[in-house]
Amino acid sequence: MDQEIINSYSKLSGLNVSRETFSDFESYISMILEKNEKINLISDKFSEKNDIIERHIIDSAQIIDIVDFNSNTTTDIGSGSGMPGIIIAILLKSLKKDIKVKLYEKSYHKSNFLKYVSKKLNLKTEIIQKNIFEERKIDTGTIMSRAFKPMPVVLDLVNENFINFSNIIFFMGKSGREIFKNTLNDWDLEYTEKKSLTSDQSFLINIKKIKKKIEKN
């Protein structure tokens, strides 16, 4: 593989990513660009290849070291074009981890795209074309939430619809600090923070336990 391509992923150097994984990333990007006009997988504003690598691939891949490797599944609760779910599935394949990535996406066309990518790249995934808010008794390891719903909505979802989970990973943007502060008014959370590789204004929240606070009259 061209060294220039590998260099474009330099922020992932700490993850010891293989050449085969870079090749999968490149194939995935090609599939996004091929289908984007018809399905609107990503914003046209950030549809240049370098933008996809920086804003989506690297951003998604950076959570691999806080994904629970001791569980049978990990779940992307609103996958869209497949980030972070597809990226994590690519990395799990590279690491030879026998973990299925479940990707919830209610859009018919996007779900079909995720199935197409998974087949082409030989990924261990399950594409679930359902509204996750209508699912019950979900059992999983890591839950991934990226550009999905507001944090309080996701916490309510997990609290009510999941019977078991290892951790919840939230991708927080530039307004994330205020959102997180307000969320802590209603939730007791056992969590750690991680600085984002892609932006000084972004960060990751890794939550191990959640408990909704009792409202005071």
In a domain, 74, yes or no: yes
- Provide the CB-side half-sphere exposure for 210 (13 A, CA): 28
Residue 162 covered by a domain? yes
Q: Which of 158, 209, 208, 202 is nearest to 180 (CA)?
A: 202
Q: Please compute the mean of the pLDDT values over residues 87-109 and round it to a whole number.
A: 97
Domain of residue 76: give its range: 3-212
Residue 194 is predicted with a pLDDT of: 95
Residue 67 lies in a domain: yes
Q: Is residue 71 included in any domain, yes or no?
A: yes
Q: Output helix, strand, coil percentages for the chain, rounded to the nearest 5.
A: 45, 20, 35
Name the average pLDDT for the chain.
Answer: 94
Assigned domain for 134 exists: yes
Q: What is the pLDDT of residues 147-198, one digit of tens each?
A: 999 999 999 999 999 999 999 999 999 899 999 999 999 999 999 999 999 9
Chain-centroid distance, C-alpha 95:
17
Residue 74: CATH number of its domain: 3.40.50.150
Does 120 map to a domain? yes
Radius of gyration of the chain (CA): 17
At 2-49, the pLDDT tens digits run: 888 889 999 998 888 899 999 999 999 999 999 988 888 887 665 688
With respect to residue 217, please indicate whether it lies within any of the assigned structural domains: no
Q: How many domains are contained in the chain? A: 1
- In which residue are the tokens 């049978």 written? 72
Residue 124 lies in a domain: yes
Query: Which of 73, 102, 89 lies closest to 164 in space, CA to CA?
Result: 73
pLDDT score of 61 more than 70: yes
User: Phi first, then psi: what are they for 166, rounded to 5°?
Assistant: -90, -50
> pTM of this prediction?
0.95
Does residue 203 have a pLDDT over 70?
Answer: yes
